[in-house]
Amino acid sequence: MSGGPVAAAIVPHAPLLVGELHPQGCEEPCGTVVRAVRSLVWGEAEAVTVVSPHGSEPGVYARVEGSLRGFGPAIDGGRPGGEGLAKELAAAASLPLLEGPCDHGVLVPALLGCAPGLELVGVSLGECSSSGEMPEPNAAALLAEALESFDGRVGLAASAHSGAALSASAPLTELEGAVEAEAAWIAALRSDVGASEAETRRLARVAGSCGAGPLGVLAALGRGRAAMFHAYERPFGVGYVVASVPG
């Protein structure tokens, strides 16, 4: 790959992080995560691509707009602009342009105020059929190459959770080895983001992380750089990480 370094970050996409959906008693951990997402610094980036592990198929969304109606109150939203860049990115990554509404992996970071003042472009890597399943690697590799071709003008927000099996209250309950897998992944990110690829696969396999695709793009773009952690909460046994990799 060639081109300038890409400013990147990890952002969570749990709908409960959106203000109207905060569970009672969890306002503070949710608020900590939201404030960290909004405070991320994107360097020289003029736009940010939010890469989601959800969505019905891989592709670049034509617009960042959608609804969280399936998760509770009728919350609709998005971010204007970015249509021209969406077409450019789709062509560069050889991905289709998706005309439908964004999935929640893109929409929630947009609603949380990720990258204020910058254009957002949403990308789906397609949803795996079961927890821990690995996504199609080709789409992630093509996307990483495409993002580097923009010479640092377009940042990456990897929309992901660290694990979904970190305590007895987690959606998958507490699975053996999940906490250890998460700790190894965090340690790898603190040292060299590129070295986190193997730990990302382990996180998906052992801890039920849905974010292997976006985190794989992050690993490809972040080789030789260490991640900085800004927030970490797991009120329901699901790890909500906010971290950045400066460009």
pLDDT confidence of residue 241: 98
Q: What is the pTM of this model?
A: 0.92
pLDDT tens digits, one per residue of 223-246: 999 999 999 999 889 999 999 999
d(CA 37, CA 230): 8
The token pair at 175 is 């699975």
DSSP state of 69: G
Q: pLDDT for 57-104, tens place per residue?
A: 999 999 999 998 877 666 677 777 788 999 999 999 999 999 989 999
The whole-number pLDDT of residue 137 equals: 61
Task: State the CB neighbour count (10 A cutoff) for residue 246.
Answer: 15
Helix, strand or coil, per DSSP, at residue 165: coil
Which of the pair, 51 or 128, is modelled with greater confidence?
A: 51
pLDDT for the residue 23: 78
φ and ψ of 97, to 5 deg: -90, 120
| pLDDT of 2 over the 50 cut | no
Sign of torsion over alpha carbons 219, 238, 42, 61: positive
Residue 172, CB-side half-sphere exposure with 13 Å CA sphere: 22
Pick the CATH number of 8-245 from 2.40.37.10, 3.40.830.10, 1.20.1250.20, 3.40.50.10860: 3.40.830.10
Percent of the chain with pLDDT over 70: 93
Task: Examine the pLDDT at 135 and tell me if it is beyond 60.
Answer: no
pLDDT for 174 equals: 85
CB 49 within 8 A of CB 114: no
CA 147 to chain centroid, in Å, comes to 15
CA distance 195 to 96: 30
22-31, 54-63, 132-141: segment of lowest average pLDDT? 132-141
Task: List pLDDT tens digits, range 157-176.
Answer: 999 999 999 999 888 888 99
Q: Are 224 and 192 in contact (CB under 8 A)?
A: yes
Could you say which DSSP state residue 133 is in?
A: P
Per-residue model confidence (pLDDT) at position 129: 45
pLDDT value for 105:
96
Residue 145 clears pLDDT 80, i.e. is over it: yes
Per DSSP bridges, beta strands 58-61 and 119-125 are: antiparallel
Cβ(128)–Cβ(53) below 8 Å = yes
Average model confidence (pLDDT) across the chain: 90
- For the cut 70, the answer to whether the pLDDT of residue 123 exceeds it is yes
Where along the chain do its domains lie?
A: 8-245
The pLDDT of 43-51, averaged and rounded, is 96
Dist. CA 172–CA 241, nearest whole Å: 18
Amino acid, res. 52: S
Distance CA 243, CA 240 (A): 10
Q: Give the single-character DSSP code of 96.
A: P
8 A C-beta contact, residue 173 and residue 165? yes
* Contact (CB, 8 A) for 86 and 65: no
What is the distance, to the nearest Å, from the Cα of residue 153 to the centroid of all Cα atoms in its chain? 18
